[in-house]
Amino acid sequence: DVDVVAELIGGAEGPARLTVSRALENRKPVVTANKALIAIHGAALACTAQEAGVPLMFEAAVAGGIPAIKTVREGLAADRILKIGGILNGTCNYILSVMHETGRDFAEILADAQKLGYAEADPSTDVDGIDTAHKLAILAGLAFGRPVVFASVYIEGIRRIGALDLQFARKMGYRIKLLGLARQHENGIEARVHPCLVPQDASIAQVNGVFNAVVAEGAFVGRLMLEGRGAG
């Protein structure tokens, strides 16, 4: 009697993976916001969905309210995407933004983010860059037409960024942002997540708080940036 299954459990294994797999095998459409599941098992689940003749939808798995998946799959379908990425974790962006504005340290801002509901009780997935990497792997796989092996993504978070780092960056005319960056080479896909120095006058440097920004660069359309709410 089930018309559609909406999975919001989280995690790449366990009940989340089992629920989605069984639903697709039983020819039930699935909607999921589970970025870890799609990043690691998305290709296999997509094959199961295709064989069953039902949709697997995961727009909410990347960048909150930004229609990033639809833009890549449909809006840019006629273009050849060269690069994709951006600010993909609102928690980290909030922490870095407040550190930049106030000069306070990482641990203090993280505690505030947890009280506001922007960060989990265990914030490691966010602040260690894993959440950003999940979303980047999904975007890169769609943009370049081939699955990204998640274990091959370089990941570095923001735990080691201190107030002094942001002060030096400001003096040099930069902001520090945690970015996910992916591009296609002749020999494969390069995908990496790490803090970056971004010129203060760059559009992405103006994306602050819990907002996300997805940037795609196409051979014909050039650079396209979508900005919107990502956390909370």
Q: Cite the active site residues.
A: 135
- What gap in Å lies between CA 141 and CA 18, rounded to an integer? 22
Say how far residue 47 (Cα) sits from the centre of its chain. 22
For the four alpha carbons of 42, 44, 45 and 50, in that order, the dihedral sign comes to positive
Helix (H) / strand (E) containing 209: none
How many alpha carbons fall within 13 Å on the CB side of residue 82?
8
Pairing of strands 81-87, 174-185: antiparallel
CB neighbour list of residue 70: distance below 8 Å, 6 or more residues apart: 59
